[in-house]
Chains A and B, each alone.
Chain A
């Protein structure tokens, strides 16, 4: 069964450093998403991406965040200058249509020290 994969599973970084989180969506999917979940809190939408551009983004997705699909398979989330409050689990998801069910990767746990 096709699945979404994410690397790394855990990333530890110093405050102010840049991090890139990587995702490989399901191969025939066209819509890609990033979410974050702070420990003990709900899953929060960050951004959706379709046809090589951002489709929607939330208030959380400010100038320190960017997304890219550098090739035909990877989908990345870059955080330019990490803050302590960026510590969270980051989930990537993909879907075959914008209103369709999304399938999630196992997440990257980001710890900012």
Chain B
């Protein structure tokens, strides 16, 4: 089983749609969780951290379920500029940290 697994995508949605990304992780020593976005041939950029209590940043909502080792990202009212690859990222460890990226889910938002 992959350490971090995401929907393979791509997702093609119209502007204004709501889109949900799912991610599962396998290592119970996972400590912290994030969503990043990556544009073509650019560096990953932090979108948001993910907590069990859930967190919201404008149109973006992230949720963590530790019991089922599941992370989600919801984008509401999607914009053309949301088109990117969304990366689920997990930090594993208590002393030294190893960071594992999912393969990413590509999103295309169309007018």
Contact = CB atoms under 8 A, between A and B. Distances in A.
Pairing of A with B = yes
Interface of A: 31, 33, 35, 41-45, 48, 50, 55-56, 58, 89, 91, 98-107
A42 B97 contact: no
B44 interface: yes
Contacts of A102: 46, 99
Interface of B: 31-32, 34, 38, 41-46, 49, 87, 91, 93, 95-104
Contact of B98 (A43, A56, A103, A106): A56
Nearest to A92: B43
B96 A101 contact: no
A48 B32 contact: no
Contacts of A41: 103
Contacts of B103: 41-42
Given A42-B104, A99-B31, A99-B32, A48 B96 contact: yes
Contacts, number: 58
Which 7 pairs show the lowest CB-CB distances between chains A and B? Answer: A55-B96, A56-B96, A104-B43, A99-B32, A43-B101, A98-B97, A42-B103
Given A45-B101, A100-B32, A56 B44 contact: no
A8 B109 CA distance: 33
Contacts of B96: 48, 50, 55-56, 98
B45 A99 contact: no
Given A99-B31, A101-B49, A43 B44 contact: yes
Contacts of B44: 43, 91, 104
15 contacts: A31-B97, A42-B101, A42-B102, A42-B103, A43-B44, A45-B98, A45-B101, A48-B97, A48-B98, A50-B96, A55-B95, A56-B96, A56-B98, A104-B45, A106-B42
